[in-house]
Amino acid sequence: MSDPFAEFEALLEELEQHKPGTPQPSVTVRRGAWAHLRRWLSRGLLLAAALIFPFWLLVGGSVTLYRHFGVPTWPALLGGVLLTALLLLVYASWVAKRISGKRRVPFNVTKVLLAVVGAYCFYALIYLSGLNAKHEEVRSEYRSLHPLLRVATSTLILVDSDLVITDMQRRATDYEKMGLPLYERSLHFVQEDGYAHAVDLRTIGRSGWRNLLMKFYFKAMGFRTLRHTGTADHLHVSLPTH
């Protein structure tokens, strides 16, 4: 004959295990998995931001100094270089703290960081691959483009290797060849500082989201953008003069 008291205690234990508000093992596992996923997603986003921010500081910082503080072209670019090197120094200090427990970074590291950022700018200012120019004539005009536009465009090419520049510097006769009325205020003309302040980028044959991201990138960096179809669909990016 079974013990009724033992059966009653077993029933109470079963009810206690399934009472409302008590997470079941499967629920606990799911919550732990979601927490783990959120933790890795947040770390991934922080890492992406840490990688992107130096480039934004270099290009966007230079453009901000140029457009909003009236700093001349080369000092503005130098300001962007110094700000970027300073940020990388902060990164290096954080790494040193994690490794050795001290935030102190050797002075040689500072010089190396400055040299790296300066070398990158030098490369961006003088080199454009033939794959990123509509034809050789466009490529030959690369150094006539404003330095800040050159650095910005070259930086985008790092992540968008299929980017193609279709036009930079123009002359009055170019409008006649294209069958367009002459626009004397065009920033494609060489301005008083000796540089063209506009560049056209190909949008045909590219997905909508890539063109949208390209436009967002230049706007986030402080440039003006306009999508239009003068002779062909393209994104017009310009840097206003002082």
14 domain-assigned: no
Domain match, 227 and 195 both: yes
What the block records as the tokens of 198 is 């506009």
Domain match, 139 and 231 both: yes
Domain match, 98 and 148 both: no
Domain match, 104 and 156 both: no
The residue out of 68, 102, 126 marking a domain boundary is 126
Long-range CB pairs of 226-229 (<8 Å, 24+ gap) are 227/203
pLDDT band at 3 (very low <50, low <70, confident <90, very high): low
Domain match, 111 and 133 both: no
Domain match, 137 and 155 both: yes
- What digits encode the pLDDT tens for the residues 43-61? 888 889 999 999 999 999 9
Domain span at residue 98 reads 52-126
Domain match, 96 and 120 both: yes
Q: Element (H or E) spanning 108, and its range?
A: helix 107-126
pLDDT, position 9: 60
Half-sphere exposure of 27 (CA within 13 A, CB side): 6
Distance separating the N- and C-terminal Cα atoms of the chain: 100
What are residue 190's DSSP bridge partners? 196
> The CATH number of the domain where 198 resides is what?
3.30.1380.10
1 domain-assigned: no
157 neighbors 131 (Cβ within 8 angstroms): no
- Compute the average pLDDT of residues 215-230: 91
Closest CA to 95 of 82, 109, 108: 109
Q: Reply yes or no on whether the pLDDT at 230 is more than 60.
A: no
Enumerate residues 6+ apart whose C-beta is below 8 A from 61. Answer: 79, 80, 83, 84
Domain match, 99 and 135 both: no
- What digits encode the pLDDT tens for the residues 141-177? 999 999 999 999 999 999 999 999 999 999 888 877 8
pLDDT, position 52: 95
- Compute the average pLDDT of residues 138-142: 95
Domain match, 172 and 235 both: yes
The residue out of 101, 126, 151 marking a domain boundary is 126
Neighbours of 125 (CB within 10 A): 17
103 domain-assigned: yes
15 domain-assigned: no
- Compute the average pLDDT of residues 124-141: 95
pLDDT, position 2: 53
27 domain-assigned: no
Mean pLDDT score of the chain, rounded to an integer?
87
110 domain-assigned: yes
Angle between helices 147-159 and 208-220 (to 10 degrees): 140
Domain match, 136 and 73 both: no
Could you give phi then psi for residue 80, rounded to 5 degrees? -65, -40
Closest CA to 233 of 212, 202, 189: 202
Q: How many structural domains compose the chain?
A: 2
2 domain-assigned: no
What the block records as the tokens of 203 is 């949008």
- Compute the average pLDDT of residues 215-235: 89
What the block records as the tokens of 94 is 């954080």
State whether the Cα torsion 42-45-49-50 is positive or negative: positive
pLDDT band at 105 (very low <50, low <70, confident <90, very high): confident
19 domain-assigned: no
Domain match, 112 and 218 both: no
Task: Output the pTM of the full model.
Answer: 0.82
Domain match, 216 and 154 both: yes
The residue out of 103, 126, 149 marking a domain boundary is 126
Could you give phi then psi for residue 196, rounded to 5 degrees? -80, 140
